[in-house]
Amino acid sequence: MKETLLVKHAVGGRTFIDTGKQPLDYEVIPEGEGWRFVIRTPWNDKVEEIVKWRNELNVFLFEEYSDRPTVKNWYYIKDGPVEYDQENERLTIHAQSRIGYVPDEFTVL
């Protein structure tokens, strides 16, 4: 399975992170009823924008398979904290909700 992580501005649709175009190490960690994304990246203009628009973010995780359709997971950040650890160069985003669906079938999972 291949994964692609996207971090986008929910209002304007700008893409801040796209691991399909610029690979970054990241982890998705389930936490209670939410998820924590830990992305290893140096501070830059896009990280600054993510922190600035922290209350207006969407995170997408595409799961691409060779033997079945791609699953698109849409995580909504809402009020989840978005933090940057300068010393360890880690961006942390907390998501409260997720919708998983198959774009080709328009089926919500």
Architecture of domain 2-108: Roll (2.30)
Q: What is the pLDDT of residues 6-32, one digit of tens each?
A: 999 998 899 999 999 999 999 999 999
Average pLDDT, integer, range 32-54: 96
Alpha helices (H) along the chain: 45-52
Q: How far, in Å, CA of 55 to CA of 2, rounded?
A: 28
Extract the tokens encoding 89. Answer: 């160069």
Average pLDDT, integer, range 99-105: 84
Three-class SS state of 33: coil
**DSSP-derived secondary structure letter, 24:** -
Q: How far, in Å, CA of 22 to CA of 87, rounded?
A: 22
Q: What is the pLDDT of residues 45-93, one digit of tens each?
A: 999 999 999 999 999 999 999 999 999 999 988 888 999 999 999 999 9
- The domain spans of the chain are 2-108
